[in-house]
Structure 1
Amino acid sequence: MRIAAIDFGGTSVKIGVFDGLRLVAVEEAPIESGRVDLDSVARSVDSLLTGVQPDAVGVAVPGIVDETGNRLLAAHGKYADLHGVDLPAWSVGRFGAPAVVENDARAALIGEIADGSARGARDAALIILGTGIGTAAVVDGRIVRGSHGHGGILGGHVTVDVSGPRCMCGNIGCAEALASTWALTADALAQRIALGPGLSDRLASHGSIGIRDLVETGDEPESASLLDRYIAAWAAAIVTHCHAFDPEVVVVTGGVMRSAETILPSLRESVHENLWSSSYRPPFVVPDDPATSVLRGVATLAIDLDGSKTSEGKS
């Protein structure tokens, strides 16, 4: 079965072609200001398919998917061009193939359960630490969606500081507003945080800074303090997710995990220390190939569009 998978990510669009669940080709293209040209995406899919029509298409989007699983309803500040577009209808019209649409964090968790770091887990939680903070959960083998598509995916928008800044989502003191790549650059440019000379130089040179920059300038007190604050915010979000869904394993992924050897031990320790006293302390796992988790997840869903295979995580 030939599957085309499309991942509309925070800073790029990834496209993969699968033979069953085996990834045979992949391509990535940056996006400008969160805008996307579906015709250009379709041409890239055609190029990777090399003249073969897909049997099905999987599409991942960074926001709320409607109850019918057809459209992106909301993604703050991203992909306005996709809001309300019937993506399965687009797929049928463009590729002659049915399509499934899913939130990217849910897709990443489905991919890791189907063929990755959480293989076979019946109860699992995931957090993506990167441009923003994404989350997802599987309970008793079923992906959590809720009655309006919001279930499990807003763990980055739990309040971790009631006196914190207003997030772009409208809430106060969200983990994402305090400890994400976009927040780091925004706070640095607005001079709301103190930067050491090394981090200041990186900001001046590139116009933005990321978590890797904090790690690499960790000998500066300012960077070390910021990284400690970020780890505390991430841990608070994970603790809330664990209290809500009681997972047997926590998948930690995203661009931040390029520095896993520095961050993961402290993050795990903080979560385990702050969980409810009788709570299970779940192991933390990092995907071997986090860049393809989402693609593998929507490919898994696309193989079974009617949702009959509960082992693949689709409800």
Structure 2
Amino acid sequence: MIKPYVLGIDIGGTNTVFGIVDARGVVLASSSIKTQKHADFDDYLDELHTEVIRLLEANDALDKILGIGIGAPNANYYTGTIEGKVNLPWPSPLPLAQIVSEKFGIPVAITNDANAAAIGEMTYGAARGLRDFIMITLGTGVGSGIVINGQLVYGHDGFAGELGHTIIRRNNGRLCGCGRTGCLEAYCSATGVARTAREFLEIREDESLLRELPIDAITSKDVYDAAIKGDKLAKEIFEYTGNILGEAFADFTVFSSPEAIILFGGLAKSGDLLMRPLRESMEKNMLHIFKGKVKVIPSELKEADAAVLGASALGWEAGKANSAPNPVAVPAKTNE
């Protein structure tokens, strides 16, 4: 029997989102559970299994899933494990792919969330037809997925592509969540933009709409809203952020000579507030042989579906590489 769908699962620090996806990249149906609800992973998996089965049964897809793709923090594609310190309540390393595959009776492949976004973009979005590109996710952190010659770069250990943790400011750089100082993520994530706003407000005396807000509660959206209203200081914050991103992108280009750098996440929707200084800074700092060659473009994935789509793209790979002998493992019915 031809199995026309895959299941995409995105495990975030707050929510786990999952959905049924067809070969055209259409999310037929999706749902979610709270990631942090269960401190015990077995309890979490039981709830996930129950809700997935419910979704599959409601959409006549119970025996039509070819594979499962999972995007998760610090997920290692090679080993199928979640490794290292992440914002999840379960012990590490966790053999996630093996456990989920045994639970559902379906082949599973996993990778980190930024790599999943790159695969999703290449399968369904702006990177279709591109063989060399870099995916940058601008959210709470800065994630990245690097594709060279049509292949995602994993490195020898599965953790290649941490461009958010390249050091962009070596003297008196900001402390990053990874424990180092000066990382790109500390400046150009949504959290980094909010940090820049607080720094500017503390060291300058300019009038700004941002001064009407509690300084410790300012978010990147607050900065965007103020900039849209013409606030000069807020615009300068985007200028500062774009300049740093442009410098970093010029360096990334030297490494892999991408045809495009694709941006995803809330900050990527800031339009010319971010894109103009970013592109100007990138070209200004670009090695001459690369000038004018690299496009910076926004993602074409719908934000509501992006996490599931990115993860689901791995499901096709898992399903084609392994033949699943069993349908989805359905809980045995009990006589009441």
TM bracket, shorter-chain basis:
0.7 to 0.9
Tell me the equivalent position of 1:293.
Answer: 306
Whole-angstrom CA distance in 2 between matches of 1:27 and 1:47? 10
* Structure 1 portions without partners, runs of 5+: 309-315
Residue 26 of structure 2 is aligned to residue 22 of structure 1: yes
**Other structure's SS at 2:318 match:** coil
Aligned AA (2:53): D
Question: What per-residue deviation string (whole Å, max 9, x for no partner) do you get for residues 123-174 of structure 1?
Answer: 111111111100111111111010112212x111111111212212122200
The 1:265–1:29 alpha-carbon spacing in structure 2 relative to 1, beyond 3 Å, is farther
* Aligned pairs (5 A) from 1:1-315: 1=3, 2-9=5-12, 11-20=14-23, 21-28=25-32, 37-50=44-57, 52-53=62-63, 54-65=65-76, 67-68=78-79, 70-76=80-86, 78-81=87-90, 83-152=92-161, 154-163=162-171, 164-185=173-194, 192-194=199-201, 198-203=209-214, 208-218=217-227, 219-280=230-291, 281-291=293-303, 292-305=305-318
Change (3 A) 1:24 1:87: same
User: Do the aligned partners of 1:62 and 1:75 also contact (CA within 8 Å) in 2?
Assistant: no
Q: 2-side partners of 1:250 and 1:33: how far apart?
A: 36
* Higher-Rg member (1/2): 2
TM-score (norm: length of structure 1): 0.84
CA contact (8 A) 1:177 1:183 kept: yes
SS at match of 1:229: helix
> Contact (CA 8 Å) 1:105, 1:294: kept in 2 or not?
no
Distance 2:218 2:67 in 1: 39
Q: Kindly tell me: are residues 4 and 226 of structure 1, through their superposed partners in 2, closer, same or farther at Cα, counting changes over 3 Å?
A: same
Provide closer, same or farther for how the CA distance between residues 66 and 124 of structure 1 changes in structure 2, counting only shifts above 3 A.
closer
Instruction: Kindly state the Cα deviation for residue 294 of structure 1 after the two structures are TM-superposed.
Output: 3.7
Q: Structure 1 residue 240: deviation in Å?
A: 2.3
- Maintained 8 Å contact 2:14/2:34: yes
Q: Are 1:7 and 1:61, in contact at CA under 8 Å, matched by a contact in 2?
A: yes
Shift in Å at residue 118 of structure 1?
A: 1.1
Give the Å deviation of 1:265.
2.9
- The answer to whether the Cα contact below 8 Å between 1:160 and 1:173 also exists between their aligned partners in 2 is yes
Letter in 2 for 1:48: L
Equivalent-residue separation in structure 1 for 2:209 and 2:120 (angstroms): 38
Structure 2 unaligned blocks of 5 or more = 322-336
* 1:262, distance to aligned residue in structure 2 (A): 3.0
Give the alignment's TM-score, normalised by structure 2. Answer: 0.79
Rounded to whole Å, the distance in 2 between the matches of 1:115 and 1:24 is 15
Relative to structure 1, is the Cα distance of residues 50 and 209 closer, same or farther in structure 2, using a 3 angstrom cutoff? farther
Partner secondary structure for residue 144 of structure 2: strand
C-alpha deviation, 1:30, in angstroms: 6.1
State the Cα distance separating 1:89 from its structure 2 match: 2.4
